[in-house]
């Protein structure tokens, strides 16, 4: 098992996003501690259940088992074994999808918050919210937008999750509302000559490619949400990810929601992002 995890760390993990690499490194360390000396063909479904049952942090344990399962799929691909030892044979207790749906009135409240500076962080986050609700872009993809991505036919984006695999690009077509929001974001930039749509006072991108984090932006977001909860009628916290889910939920069709979120599988969109209650007509 240790040898497989070594190869997985060398061949597979470096091709993932920076934040995922760090998460995988932690998962692999924990897997080694418990299963590292086990023969590759010695793993059985009962071992996976035992590993999961003994962990108090069930969400982390689930992520670690996902890494283990992917490592075994690679072992089959690399010719080390003929079959995955627990694929389709382990059913862990379900992780409940998040259900927080941000209502329209809550967005209106957020956008009504008075900025303390004309082109400060509040104004920037408010226009960021508008663009996110229109496009459904992930935080990293939105913060990485450059002036060069804003073309005549729309906003050109290579989603970060597929950049190293399929490299598939999407073009988000212009609408009047989207053009207006982008123009507003440009006007609120502290450095007008910066190549980034969202930049700090030094004209730099908020997203750090080396560690996969956006610490300055996250601080601005927390401060903004604190003011929202203190000064508006919004009383339940929501995350940036909840805004992405709102975009998917408000899309007229599941197909449109999947395309906006750049998901390969509609099942992911339906299970985790479509959060509006289903409306059902009575029989009579």
The predicted model gives 147-173 an average pLDDT of 87
Q: Pick the residue with more confidence: 3 or 211?
A: 3
pLDDT at residue 248 is higher than 90: yes
Confidence of residue 140 (pLDDT cuts 50, 70, 90): very high
Whole-angstrom distance, CA of residue 199 vs CA of residue 205: 5
The predicted model gives 98-126 an average pLDDT of 91
Token pair of 228 as six digits: 């929202």
Confidence of residue 168 (pLDDT cuts 50, 70, 90): confident
Confidence of residue 166 (pLDDT cuts 50, 70, 90): low
Q: What does the pLDDT read at residue 160?
A: 84
Q: Determine the length of the chain.
A: 284
Question: 54-58, 82-86, 87-91, 96-100 — which one is most confidently predicted on average?
Answer: 82-86
Whole-angstrom distance, CA of residue 137 vs CA of residue 261: 6
pLDDT at residue 117 is higher than 90: no
The neighbouring-strand residues paired with 91 are: none
């Amino acid at each position: 098992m240790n040898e497989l995890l070594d190869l997985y760390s060398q061949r597979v993990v470096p091709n993932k996003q920076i934040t995922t690499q760090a998460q995988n490194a932690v998962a692999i360390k924990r897997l080694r501690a418990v299963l590292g000396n086990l023969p590759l063909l010695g793993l059985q479904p009962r071992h996976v259940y035992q590993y999961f049952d003994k962990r108090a942090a069930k969400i982390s344990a689930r992520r670690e088992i996902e890494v283990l399962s992917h490592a075994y799929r690679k072992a089959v691909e690399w010719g080390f074994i003929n079959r995955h030892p627990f694929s389709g044979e382990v059913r862990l207790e379900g992780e409940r999808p998040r259900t927080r749906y941000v209502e329209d009135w809550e967005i209106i409240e957020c956008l009504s918050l008075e900025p303390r500076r004309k082109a400060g962080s509040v104004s920037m986050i408010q226009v960021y919210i508008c663009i996110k609700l229109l496009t459904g872009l992930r935080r990293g993809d939105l913060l990485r937008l450059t002036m060069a991505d804003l073309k005549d036919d729309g906003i050109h984006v290579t989603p970060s999750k597929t950049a190293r695999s399929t490299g598939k690009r999407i073009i988000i077509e212009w609408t009047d509302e989207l053009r207006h929001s982008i123009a507003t974001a440009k006007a609120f930039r502290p450095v007008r000559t910066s190549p980034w749509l969202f930049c700090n006072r030094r004209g730099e991108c908020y997203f750090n490619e080396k560690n996969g984090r956006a610490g300055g932006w996250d601080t601005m977001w927390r401060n903004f949400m604190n003011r929202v909860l203190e000064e508006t009628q919004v009383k339940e916290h929501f995350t940036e990810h909840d805004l992405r889910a709102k975009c998917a939920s408000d899309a007229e069709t599941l197909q449109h929601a999947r395309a906006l979120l750049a998901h390969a599988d509609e099942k992911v969109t339906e299970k985790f992002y479509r959060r509006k209650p289903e409306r059902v007509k009575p029989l009579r």
